[in-house]
Amino acid sequence: MTTQPHTKTFTPSRPIWCAGCGDFAVKGVLEKSLQNMGVAPHNLMLLAGIGCSGTIQNNIECYGYHALHGRVLPAAIGAKLANPDLTVVAAGGDGDGYAIGAGHLVHTFKSNPSITYIVMNNSNYGLTKGQASPTSPTGYRDNAEEGMDAIMLGLSLPSTTFLARGFSGNPEQLEKLMDAALEHTGSGKGFAFLEVLSPCVTYYDTHRDWRARVYNLDEDEGFDPSNRTLAFGRVLELREEGRIPIGRIYKGEHASLESLIVNRDELPPAQQKIGKNGHGKHYEKFIKSYLG
Amino acid sequence: MSSNNNQPVLEDVSVIVAGQGGDGSLTVITMLAELFRHSGLNVYTERDVLSRIRGGHAAATMRAFTGEKYCIGSNITLLLALDQEAVEKNAWQLDSKSIVVYDDSGGPVPPDLLPEGIRLYAAPFNRIAMRTMRRELYKNSIAFGVVGRLLGLEDESIRETFTKRFQRMGQVILEYNLEALGLGLHLADEMGIHEGEGLYRIEHATPEERLLIIGNESVAFGFMAAGGRFFTGYPITPSSEVLETLQKWLPRCGGVARQTEDELAAINMAIGASLTGTRTMVATSGPGFSLMQEGIGHSGSAEVPMVIVDCQRSGPSTGMPTKPEQSDLNLMVFGGHGDFPRIVLTPGHPEDCFYLAAQATNLADKYQCPVYIAMDQAISQNIATVKPFDLDGLAVETGKRLEKEDLEKLDAYKRYELTEDNISPFAAPGTPGGMSLVTGNEHDEWGLVSTDPENRIRMMNKRMDKIELARNELPRARHFGDPDGEIGFIGTGMLFGVILEAIEILDNDGLKAQYLQPRTIWPVLEDILEFIDKCSRVYVVELNAQAQLAHLLIHQGADSGKLLNILRYDGIPFRPGELVKRVFEEESRFMDNQKREAKAQ
């Protein structure tokens, strides 16, 4: 469906991914979810980082932006604050989000803007030929460090509102999670963080390993994603058991960034007409304050 | 009130207040500035502080004058020294006509510190504050009484200014300060400095409407007035006031000003906002500016409009954060990896900051590239009286935009379409039919990544050639002085006021000089090169160690044989008199060289 020519805008190109790459599932599910949620292509801003996953915007009809390495989140926040009426989706890999861009991830959890962030986690740097990434386990190549878990990082920050993990090998569940993420941001509830386990078939094929280790919390009746303490405990336990929790891990409430700082008595920044005296009465007040 | 008509009319005074950080030097200077502004005079102030909240030497200087002046003058009328270090650090600026008001709580001022014949008024402000008010804090308000009387200010107007200033901080603080001022005025009586018997008579003119403003505030408003609606920054001296001003004012008109976690987030968040068609600006300094380089290059290659305010401070690395320098020029003009277009504008006074910021905002949108406003710490933070901005004369030009109706008429919309003027029309996200790709990778017209060599050449040329087109409308340099003057001056930023006054002094000394103040430094416009051509030699005055501006001019075709450098990188701003001295030294060296060369031939 993406290779059909469009008359007026760019033709989404074929993905550059290797056959069997988990990212295909992510793309397919994202397109499906956007339809499910009724997001029109012209209202979608899809921003992506650098890496294999950072090309997804070329393959979907949207306003697409290719960010600098590690900087997709600040760019996405800027777009959302300037025009809160857009559906803003950021996408990238685990290197982009958890290594070079880790600082921004922490502050996006903290500030809670209503944007969806999809991290395609393949636990290595595929595009640069398989170096260890922040989520690579101890012993992968020469990696001496323990891999990090961004869901646990999110759980540790008091303002997080949506944390989920999907698996490209389970697209049905991934679609539900993606729908929920888009619903969360679409209704202005804040930051939806969705990590997708997306194996790299070329440099680090974890498909079988991950399939064996995933633990679906959505099917665990004793689990309650609105309970942060419980969620943290379960994630930690499962990790210690060598399992990888997937599903809706946490959903909470906190004011979204745009609801706190965009003045909705006026048109949002991007929708204001640029012209003479656009500042009007405010300018007069300003002048007075400096006249003393 | 008695008045003595034998006193000269106040036309030009400069006052330094110096002590330890936290002593309130800046408060005294700001209040003096307000008082003189109310009396119909113009003012210019300067600060000399360390990067810490309390302690360490701190001084502020204020000049009040009639007519137009744009710097602190060569002669200091009065120094209020709150301790001995204040005298030691500032004695170089004094001459025999200066007056020193000295806090002798810690003992008398060593006589050899001061120029001969200087008038000294000593009183134990600190001791009085401690004895009567139990707080050292009030010593500057006590001293204010003495200084105010000496400068010819009326008691009542001083009280009014105190009331206005301290009311904001609460009734208690106001009462204490008024009490301290009363003590100071009483002390002045005891010292024989009665009301109306100061050094000057202030002729109250009907005050023209003037804003009392710093360059950072002015730049913020120029941006806002030109439709700027999104700003990001990370607190850094001396640029923080741009962030603070816009955080206060931008939300009122529906804009967003955000303090980010670092400068990487600041520039990239700004890029994200700019992608939606919002006029966007960032401000930073030194280390933050280095961090933003990748993002700025990206804005050049992805053709995302961006205004970058660089409040230059002393570098490299953390350098001297509170000191002015002009040493980022190379980074502005040549910085970032790869080739990309950029424009660099440079204002010379807080007033000009407004107009250049508005123009930069227009230019960025029109040419879809990064546009710098090159400030320096002095332009950024010195307070000056400025004529209310001319909003009616302000041009607000929009870039090439496509709305839904425009798009419907097109066969195809390509974000990076090759056009005659090299500017591709832009459709903002949210507009039906305008879906497109923006990337910093080399791309084809659609925005799809491409390494095709022919496409690469077309796209690179398209971006770089935009600047050639922009040349015609970039701010021209301003010319001052004798158009037939043999020697010329070029200098930017805070040096504007200093050079302007220096050429007056030179003229009085019989040396005809002219001055060109560039307002665009990249691309280098013909007006600068033509100016150099018509002078027999040109002093390029700069606040950096490598003569960055002179090298840039030579790189762009200026005759290197004609350029002489006057450089300064000690963190101290030039005074016009000092600059004149340096010029005469250079002139005599130049003449000696000429003679030597003539002999050798």
Q: What is the pLDDT of residues B544-594, one digit of tens each?
A: 999 999 999 999 999 999 999 999 999 999 999 999 999 999 999 988 988
Q: CA-nearest residue of chain A to B211?
A: A291
Q: Which of residues 86-105 of A touch B (CB under 8 A)?
A: 86, 103-104
Mean pLDDT of B367-396: 94
- Convert the pLDDT of each residue in B495-543 to its tens digit: 999 999 999 999 999 999 999 999 999 999 999 999 999 999 999 999 9
Query: What's the pLDDT at B2?
Result: 45
Mean pLDDT of B274-281: 98
CB contacts, 8 Å: A276 with chain B: 391, 394, 396
Query: What's the pLDDT at A4?
Result: 43
Q: Are B352 and B346 in contact (CB under 8 A)?
A: no
Mean pLDDT of B179-188: 96
Q: pLDDT at residue A69 above 50?
A: yes
Mean pLDDT of A10-21: 90
Mean pLDDT of A255-262: 97
Query: What's the pLDDT at B443?
Result: 97
% of chain B with per-residue pLDDT over 70: 99
Give yes or no for A211 touching B (CB within 8 A). Answer: no
Residues 6 or more apart from A163 whose CB is under 8 A from it? A151, A154, A155, A193, A231, A249, A250, A251
- Convert the pLDDT of each residue in B158-169 to its tens digit: 999 999 999 999
Q: Are B253 and A280 inside 8 Å of each other by CB?
A: yes
CB contacts, 8 Å: B228 with chain A: none
Please enumerate, as own/partner, the contacts of B548-551 that have beta carbons within 8 Å and a separation of 24 or more: B548/B326, B548/B327, B548/B329, B548/B330, B549/B326, B549/B329, B549/B490, B549/B492, B549/B521
Q: Return mean pLDDT, chain A.
A: 94
Q: Are A279 and B225 inside 8 Å of each other by CB?
A: yes
Query: What's the pLDDT at B7?
Result: 85
- What confidence tier does B597 reach under pLDDT thresholds 50, 70, 90? confident
CB contacts, 8 Å: A8 with chain B: 407, 410-413, 433
Q: pLDDT at residue B6 above 90?
A: no
- Convert the pLDDT of each residue in A127-146 to its tens digit: 999 999 999 999 999 999 99
Q: pLDDT at residue B53 above 90?
A: no
Interface test with A, best of B253, B298, B415 (most A CBs within 10 A): B253
Q: CB burial class (10 A; 0-12, 13-18, 19+) of residue B194?
A: middle
Beta-strand ranges (E) seen in B119-273 are 119-123, 211-214, 230-233, 256-259
Q: Are B45 and B59 in contact (CB under 8 A)?
A: no
Query: What's the pLDDT at B207?
Result: 66
- Distance separating alpha carbons of residues A196 and A166, to the nearest angstrom: 5
Q: Which of residues 242-271 of A touch B (CB under 8 A)?
A: 261-263, 265-270
- Convert the pLDDT of each residue in A164-213 to its tens digit: 999 999 999 999 999 999 999 999 999 999 999 999 999 999 999 999 99
- Distance separating alpha carbons of residues B342 and B520, to the nearest angstrom: 11
Residues 6 or more apart from B91 whose CB is under 8 A from it? B113, B114, B115
Residues 6 or more apart from B231 whose CB is under 8 A from it? B220, B223, B242, B243, B246, B250, B255, B256, B257, B258, B270, B280, B281, B282, B283
Helix (H) or strand (E) segment spanning residue A171 = helix A171-186
Provide the whole-model pTM. Answer: 0.96
Q: pLDDT at residue A6 above 70?
A: no
**Minimal Cα–Cα distance from A215 to chain B, Å?**
35
- Distance separating alpha carbons of residues A279 and B394, to the nearest angstrom: 12
Mean pLDDT of B408-413: 92
Mean pLDDT of B180-184: 96
Query: What's the pLDDT at A2?
Result: 45
Q: pLDDT at residue A111 above 80?
A: yes
Mean pLDDT of B234-252: 96
Residues 6 or more apart from B555 whose CB is under 8 A from it? none
Q: Are A82 and B256 inside 8 Å of each other by CB?
A: yes
Instruction: Give the orientation angle of helix B263-274 with respect to helix A102-111, to 10 degrees.
Output: 70
CB contacts, 8 Å: A45 with chain B: 275-276, 429
Q: pLDDT at residue A31 above 70?
A: yes
Mean pLDDT of A243-247: 98
- Convert the pLDDT of each residue in B98-118 to its tens digit: 999 999 999 999 878 888 889
- Convert the pLDDT of each residue in B333-353 to its tens digit: 999 999 999 999 999 999 999
Q: Are B416 and B443 in contact (CB under 8 A)?
A: yes
Sign of CA dihedral B585, B588, B594, B597: negative
Count Cβ atoms below 10 Å from residue A180 Cβ, excluding itself. 18
Query: What's the pLDDT at B228?
Result: 96
What is the token pair recorded at B17?
A: 């207040």
Q: CB burial class (10 A; 0-12, 13-18, 19+) of residue A97?
A: buried
- Distance separating alpha carbons of residues B27 and A72, to the nearest angstrom: 43
Phi/psi-derived region of residue B139, left when phi > 0, alpha when psi is between -120 and 50, beta in every other case: alpha
Q: pLDDT at residue B261 above 80?
A: yes
**CA of B323: how far to CAs of B259, B327, B476, in Å?**
23, 12, 28
Give yes or no for A27 touching B (CB within 8 A). Answer: no
- Best mean pLDDT range from A71-85, B47-61, B116-130: A71-85
Q: Are B269 and A272 inside 8 Å of each other by CB?
A: no
**Minimal Cα–Cα distance from A101 to chain B, Å?**
10
Q: CB burial class (10 A; 0-12, 13-18, 19+) of residue B378?
A: buried
Q: pLDDT at residue B1 above 60?
A: no
The CA dihedral of B497, B501, B502, B503, to the nearest 10 degrees, is 110
Q: Are B438 and A274 inside 8 Å of each other by CB?
A: no
Helix (H) or strand (E) segment spanning residue A194 = strand A192-197
Q: Are A272 and B254 inside 8 Å of each other by CB?
A: yes
Mean pLDDT of A18-34: 97
**Minimal Cα–Cα distance from A240 to chain B, Å?**
33
Give yes or no for A107 touching B (CB within 8 A). Answer: yes
**Minimal Cα–Cα distance from A192 to chain B, Å?**
18
CB contacts, 8 Å: A279 with chain B: 224-225, 253
Q: pLDDT at residue B391 above 90?
A: no
Q: Are B146 and B101 in contact (CB under 8 A)?
A: yes
- What confidence tier does A277 reach under pLDDT thresholds 50, 70, 90? low
Mean pLDDT of B271-278: 98
- Distance separating alpha carbons of residues B94 and B101, to the nearest angstrom: 12
What is the token pair recorded at A116?
A: 């969806």
Give yes or no for A58 touching B (CB within 8 A). Answer: yes
Look at residues B522, B525, B531 and name the one whose alpha carbon lies nearest to residue B562. Answer: B531
CB contacts, 8 Å: A278 with chain B: 227, 253, 396
